[in-house]
Amino acid sequence: MVFKTLGAKAAAALDRELMSTGAFSIDQLMELAGLSVSQVVYRVHPINKGRRVLVAVGPGNNGGDGLVAARHLRHYGYQPTIYYPKRSKNELYQRLAKQLEDLDVPFVDDFPKALSSADHVVDAIFGFSFSGEVREPFPAVINAMAETQVPVTSVDTPSSWDIEEGPPKSGVGSNFHPNFLISLTAPKPLVKHFKGRHFIGGRFVTPAIAAKYDFDVPEYEGLDQVVEVGPSGQKL
């Protein structure tokens, strides 16, 4: 089956519903999202390929997913490093950062330098609500991810991409094609422009919610929080 996609308005409405009538807290949703991201990294980049994972963290929920993923990766035995230039004043994000500091996970200011010694990158800068232009200091970060030979996993959307139209026609992000993508809850329309390995995560959605928003919940196996899907959306 080809998985249906979820546009920006529907994705935002779905999040609101999960946190209201769905009875989930944002902490729970972020924990589950970050856990699924960590499982994708473990699957596509097992520890024997190199432990050093650089996590590029944006100021919003996508960044929070990255912070959670980094904590799980640290417990799996990786050596994550965090690039988090626009720290949120929100108490939840401050707690997520503190949890990493308590695990002696380093926070760095120089992205290119950190990238030069990384084995894998997690792009958790911008999510499905991104629009407009990429603000400092992220243009250079996205360009570096576009040009590096180090494999990149993007969280929900490749940063700078439009949720409907995919990569920008020109400028920052126009040449950014990450190796791996994890779509959270359901794929976004931009997946038609994505050429790498694609995963879906979000093993908490009720059948009623999926029916209401007209998307498919993949068949997760065993303990997996993620499912790999092929280029035309079929389960692999």
Confirm whether residue 194 is marked as ligand binding: no
Confirm whether residue 25 is marked as ligand binding: no
* Cα–Cα dist 130/7, whole Å: 12
Q: Are 62 and 153 in contact (CB under 8 A)?
A: no
Residue 66: how many other CB atoms lie within 10 Å: 29
Query: Amino acid letter at 188?
Result: K
Q: Are 70 and 42 in contact (CB under 8 A)?
A: no
Structure tokens at 34: 């970050």
Confirm whether residue 48 is marked as ligand binding: no
* Cα–Cα dist 75/43, whole Å: 15
Confirm whether residue 214 is marked as ligand binding: no
* Cα–Cα dist 43/143, whole Å: 25
Confirm whether residue 62 is marked as ligand binding: yes
Confirm whether residue 216 is marked as ligand binding: no
Structure tokens at 36: 């699924």
Confirm whether residue 117 is marked as ligand binding: no
* Cα–Cα dist 94/147, whole Å: 31
Helix 8-19, helix 26-44: angle, nearest 10: 120
Confirm whether residue 133 is marked as ligand binding: yes
Confirm whether residue 156 is marked as ligand binding: yes
Confirm whether residue 91 is marked as ligand binding: no
Binding site per annotation, positions for (6S)-NADPHX? 61-65, 127-133, 156
User: Which residue ranges make up the annotated binding site for K(+)?
Assistant: 62, 123, 159
Q: Which residues sit in the known binding site?
A: 61-65, 123, 127-133, 156, 159
